[in-house]
Amino acid sequence: MTKDRRRPGALVVAALVCCALAGCSGEASTPAALPPASSPAVRAAPPAVSASSPAVAPSPAVPPAGTATAAPAWLGTRVLPVGPDGFAAARITPPELLNRSIVTTDELPPPVDGRFHSTVQAVPADVLARSSWTSACPVKAQDLRYVTVGFRGFDGLAHTGELLVHERAAKPLVTVFGRLFAENYPIERMRISSVAELNAAPTGDGNTTEVFACRPVRGRKAWSQHAYGLAVDVDPFQNPYHKGKVVLPELATSYLDRGNARPGMVLARGPVVAAFAEVGWKWGGDYRSLKDFMHFSANGG
């Protein structure tokens, strides 16, 4: 899995990245209760625009347009204490996030026609500079591609996301996200994280769909498939990593109940698993020693 940032204010930027990208391995201590938080006022989502892709039956987990709410004011600001093992403890999901359906804040211009669009190009220098790539990473910069794809938010609207991917993964991922757009599968946000964001203290509430993260597998010396641009994490909060007492993001414990289907959850017989299977990518929800519900990779690692 990878990490996250959110933009309601400057305080949130680095904190959210830590929680999502910290997954795909790692340890946490015994779950503890989260301090109570007041629920902020929410605003109604704008009306949905028509999708561009061919008409298909919507996923059962898609929320009705206009039911998404603004992010809680505290999102991404409550840093979790880290134990001696270097990890924060899993915690009870706050009431505001039990059925997480947050309005997307556009970080790239949304498609004016409400349709699916995608681009694939060599990575611009400014994009590479704000990513987690360095010369120490296991993939050369010239082997990466900067990809933009449309995605459907929990607000029912069309948005534009960005991904840093291996050149071999560019076409398959455009195909996958095109299908998910057509299926109206909701994604909260999609962007590239920086080194600072990957290393930020955990807040346990990140939810960025993301590919590239230059780091080893947690607890091991081997490089993660994210470090090659060959793995993607989808809606991490709705699809947490789980091994023993470890839950990442740490506040996503309510989403360990996979029988309680909610918007954004990746389900075994759902459209996300099917879309990735069509391009030969494997799902972390099928792992036996742990469950990484957000994670898809080209080689199953």
Average pLDDT, the chain: 84
Q: How far apart are CA 110 and CA 86, in angstroms?
A: 38
| 127 Rama class: left (phi>0) / alpha (psi -120 to 50) / beta | alpha
Q: Is the pLDDT of residue 256 over 90?
A: yes
Q: What pairing do the DSSP bridges indicate for beta strands 231-233 and 295-297?
A: antiparallel
Name the band, by pLDDT with cuts 50, 70 and 90, for residue 115.
very high
Q: Taking the model in full, what pTM does it have?
A: 0.82
Is the model's pLDDT at 47 over the cut of 70? no
Tell whether the model's pLDDT for residue 250 goes beyond 50.
yes
* Residue 140: other Cβ atoms inside 10 A: 9
Q: What are the phi and psi torsion angles at 284 (to 5°)?
A: -70, -15
Residue 57: pLDDT band with limits 50, 70, 90: very low
Average the pLDDT over 178-198 and give the result: 97
Rounded-to-10 torsion of CA 102, 86, 225, 246: -60
Distance CA 165, CA 27 (A): 27
Residue 32 predicted with pLDDT over 60: no
How many residues comprise the chain?
Answer: 301
Q: How far apart are CA 242 and CA 256, in angstroms?
A: 8
CA distance 53 to 183: 9
Note the pLDDT tens digit of each residue in 68-109: 999 999 999 999 999 887 789 999 999 999 999 999 999 999
Residue 40 has a pLDDT of 33
Average pLDDT rounded to a whole number, residues 282-296 = 97
- The per-residue pLDDT for 78 is 97
